[in-house]
Amino acid sequence: MTQSLRISVIIPALNESQQIASTIESAKAAGFDEIIVVDGGSTDDTLAQSKDADIAMSSQPGRAIQQNAGAEVATGDVLFFLHADCQPNPKSAEAIRQVMAKDRSVIAGAFRQHIDARGWRYRWLEWGNRQRVRWFGMAYGDQGLFIRRPVFENLSRFAPLPLMEDVDLMVRLRGLGTFVLLEPELIVSARRWQKRGVFRQTLRNWSLLLAYFCGVSPERLARFYRHVR
């Protein structure tokens, strides 16, 4: 087993009391070295349910702000940003250690997804998300982004954007080194697709991404995002 690299898991959370304990448990079972939950002002007992994390802290709301706050206190050589409704495979920590110890050109990566629902629509969605990473080098936060700490710091961390902080980071990573997509599947809650429908949610995501690359500001997109939510 490769033990040279310490990996800190950073979980931004907001009103995730029903999910957070199982997410922490899965991260522990996967063998990560440190688990940090950063709550963005929950009105439920998310922080109380995070008691098994190594650090459970509060910050100003906003995923970028919360993830940066977690990175500030993290001690790992690699930072793994995990959404609260995602659960890592038991082999995921070792997969990160192995690929990064073997090849120093690998600076960051993400995981294949398994959306926690039955049906061909979800398998189609998983396939499309894999191809997005392979063809365009564009992973989203719900694929479990991990990055070498020095690279993250040199990039000045996540930009303090209200939306698209993961896309912005992916763009800034281009040309700096190798980005990998690892095989151990990340279990992703299907709740957002089940709430709005697979095709409607996917079309919404594509529309936001297209608008972002056409120059629409994240602040304006965030207002639209809150509206459709």
pLDDT (mean) for 172-180: 95
Render pLDDT for 143-162 as a digit per residue (tens, 0 to 9).
999 999 999 999 999 999 98
CA distance 162 to 179: 24
**Per-residue pLDDT, 225:** 62
What residues does each domain of the chain span? 7-191
Render pLDDT for 41-88 as a digit per residue (tens, 0 to 9).
999 999 999 999 999 999 999 999 999 999 999 999 999 999 999 999
The pTM is what?
0.90
- Name which CATH class applies to 7-191: alpha beta
What is the CB neighbour count within 10 angstroms for residue 109?
23
Closest among 80, 104, 66, 57 to 6, alpha carbons compared: 80
**Per-residue pLDDT, 207:** 75
**Per-residue pLDDT, 215:** 79
Does the pLDDT at position 1 exceed 50? no
CA 223, distance to chain mean position in Å, is: 22
How many Cα atoms within 13 Å fall on the side-chain side of residue 93?
A: 23
CA distance 138 to 174: 10
- Give the SS3 label for residue 36: strand
- Mean pLDDT, the chain, rounded, equals 91
Tokens 């902080």 locate to: 165
Does the pLDDT at position 226 exceed 60? no
Residues, the chain: 229
**Per-residue pLDDT, 224:** 64
Write out the DSSP string of 125-149: HHHHHHHHHHHH----GGG-EEEEH
Does the pLDDT at position 187 exceed 70? yes
CA 50, distance to chain mean position in Å, is: 18
